Structure 1
């Protein structure tokens, strides 16, 4: 378990993380200015704050990835949202806090 404020180690993405990514996909594509033909969560880190930040590496095809920071507030405290992202990254680039 990660301590509050600190990011966890990198973990393989699972179905739950893919669902989070699917929820913010339209917003991410709009902000990035393009549609992704592939969109598969590969790995993630989490950070416990007043809710949880998820840092997710998303494979968007052709050896490229997008890193998305997704904020999931505590229950009843708001909606899941895309906080930030980094586009045009190589798939092998390390997922880091941003």
Structure 2
């Protein structure tokens, strides 16, 4: 019984530390109004990149995100671009306030985790 308690304690502490360490991504959450604003500030760049890949965007709805703090704020965002079609976008907001799209992963599903 003591081993089970010890394992649970270690797992709990490790999980808490991994979420609070600078540079590590936190848990997946629903998009907040602020994150939505950040995503829409780079929508043109995201849509342009998708068009260059031959992908049409019929919808643009950020759904979930994970964030991290590292000399600015990084966001991994799941965005619905059409019925049943999703992308993952890596977005970075610099301390200066400028925002850039770092990467886009296409062919994602609603069930694909943000990693």
TM-score normalized with structure 1 length: 0.86
Moved over 6 A (4+): none
1 or 2 for the larger relative contact order (CA 8 Å, sep ≥6)?
1
CA-atom RMSD in angstroms: 1.5
User: Is the CA contact 1:44–1:57 (under 8 Å) kept in the aligned structure 2?
Assistant: yes
Show structure 2 runs of 5+ residues with no match. 1-18
How far does residue 35 in structure 1 lie from its aligned partner after superposition? 4.2
Show structure 1 runs of 5+ residues with no match. none
TM-score normalized with structure 2 length: 0.74
Match of 1:40 in 2: 61
Normalized per residue, which structure has more helix? Answer: 2
Query: How many matched pairs?
Result: 94
Normalized per residue, which structure has more strand? Answer: 1
Match of 2:82 in 1: 61
Structure whose CA Rg is larger: 2
